[in-house]
Structure 1
Amino acid sequence: MCSGSFAKCLGITLIPLSIVCVVCNILLFFPGGNSVENDYITGEVWFLGGILGSGVLMIFPIPVFLGLKNNDCCGCCGNASCGRRFAMLSSILFAAIGVLGAGYSVTISALAISKGPLCQYKSGTETIWNYPFLSEDYLSNKDLWSMCLAPEGVVEWHLSLFSVTMVMGLIQAILCAIQVVNGLLGALCGDCCGCCETRAGAV
């Protein structure tokens, strides 16, 4: 397979992953599917890991990956003097941006899962809003989830959406890392499946 065609496949795969992460981040602003005041939204949601890391920063590598099928053959952006090797080499930079963005999303999601959601719970005789699982291993003890009185279902909501974002981010990071290797191989080997020669023969 051409290195450019393979990069295009990676770019196509990144699109739905980015959409899923953005949607998950948006849903996290509605804990348990409820509309609450901003002060009652888990802090990590505001870091916008899914929107910025797995969403906005993927705007850079995705179009580059999609265009490499043509760029790595007879130059980049239709400019034959640019050279297919440079096109593949430059894709490494954009792939690195993708890795950083996905890594940011994964880091925020992991921290949020470890910390647990912000919710209303009883502390002694008082009912307060805070993070009840900071000193509790709620991931291995599902019985603790009932500590959160409001919003209803916030623990499941928090855990499932941040888990999806983390998994999607990990996949994005792997795909972008693969393109780093693919871009390097394309730059070194100049593998183009002979499309330039085919076009030249057709003229």
Structure 2
Amino acid sequence: MCCRECAKCLGVILIPLAVLCTLANILLFFPGGNVETSEHITKEVWCFGGLLGSGVLMVFPALVFLGLKNNDCCGCCGNESCGKRFAMFTSIIFAAVGVVGAGYSFIVSAVALNNGPLCLMEDGSWDYPFQNGNYLTNHSSWSTCHAPESIVPWNVSLFSLLLVMSVIQLVLCAIQAVNGLLGTLCGDCKCCGCCGGDGAV
């Protein structure tokens, strides 16, 4: 399979992942499925890890990867392969953008899982009762949060989802960085060890 066909496959996978991350981040603004005032929303939600990092920033590399398959660059100095090599080189830059976005989402999600959610305590104050990540395996401690309803499993589920999807995005963008490097160096599919087939990169 051509390096550009490989890039297209990666782009196809990244688009739904970006949409899911965006939706997960939006749902986090409704803790426990309820509408709360802004001061009652966990601070890491406002970092927009899923919305910006794994969402918006991931759309750009995904679209570039998708477009590589149909990129019929006219080349330079009469050499068609030159333009196609440049297109593959450009994909490395956008893969790096994807790595940064997914990395940001991963860090935000990891910090959010460690700190736990903002919730209403028994004394009537809103605070972060966990702050150490130990609550993840100690489900009995979740009763410390009285409101919003089911806020702990809600935050844990959504931030865990963002964490996993950001890791997948990181891996896919890293694969395209290597794929783009091979496409840049090899040029034609026929001379590229990672690429088979009769088409041109």
Task: Give 1:101-180 correspondences, 5 Å limit.
Answer: 101-122=101-122, 126-135=123-132, 137-180=134-177
CA offsets 1:36-87 (integer angstroms, 9 cap, x no match): 110000000000000000111012201110011122xx42xxx333611111
The equivalent of 2:63 in structure 1 is 63
Task: Give 1:1-203 correspondences, 5 Å limit.
Answer: 1-71=1-71, 74-75=72-73, 79-81=74-76, 83-122=83-122, 126-135=123-132, 137-192=134-189, 193-195=197-199
Residue type matched to 2:199 in 1? Answer: C
Question: 2: distance between equivalents of 1:28 and 1:37?
Answer: 13
Q: What do you get for the CA RMSD once the two structures are aligned?
A: 1.3
Residue type matched to 1:165 in 2? Answer: L
Matched residue pairs, number? 188
Question: 1: distance between equivalents of 2:84 and 2:23?
Answer: 36
Q: Is the 1:57–1:98 contact (alpha carbons within 8 Å) kept by the matching residues of 2?
A: yes
The equivalent of 2:192 in structure 1 is none
Structure 2 unaligned regions, length at least 5 = 77-81, 190-196
Assess, with a 3 A threshold, how the Cα gap between structure 1 residues 136 and 20 changes in structure 2: closer, same or farther: closer
3-state DSSP of counterpart to 2:36: coil
Shift >4 Å, 4+ stretches: none
Aligned-pair CA distance for 1:90: 1.1
Question: 2: distance between equivalents of 1:181 and 1:136?
Answer: 35
Identity %: 59
Question: 1: distance between equivalents of 2:138 and 2:29?
Answer: 25
The equivalent of 1:200 in structure 2 is none
Aligned-pair CA distance for 1:166: 0.8
Residue type matched to 1:195 in 2? Answer: G
The equivalent of 2:194 in structure 1 is none
Aligned-pair CA distance for 1:195: 3.1
Q: Is the 1:42–1:118 contact (alpha carbons within 8 Å) kept by the matching residues of 2?
A: yes
Aligned-pair CA distance for 1:13: 0.2
Aligned-pair CA distance for 1:135: 4.7
Q: Is the 1:3–1:191 contact (alpha carbons within 8 Å) kept by the matching residues of 2?
A: no
Question: 2: distance between equivalents of 1:41 and 1:117?
Answer: 8
Residue type matched to 1:152 in 2? Answer: E
Question: 2: distance between equivalents of 1:191 and 1:2?
Answer: 9
Aligned-pair CA distance for 1:121: 1.0
3-state DSSP of counterpart to 1:195: coil
Q: Is the 1:88–1:186 contact (alpha carbons within 8 Å) kept by the matching residues of 2?
A: yes
Aligned-pair CA distance for 1:136: 6.5
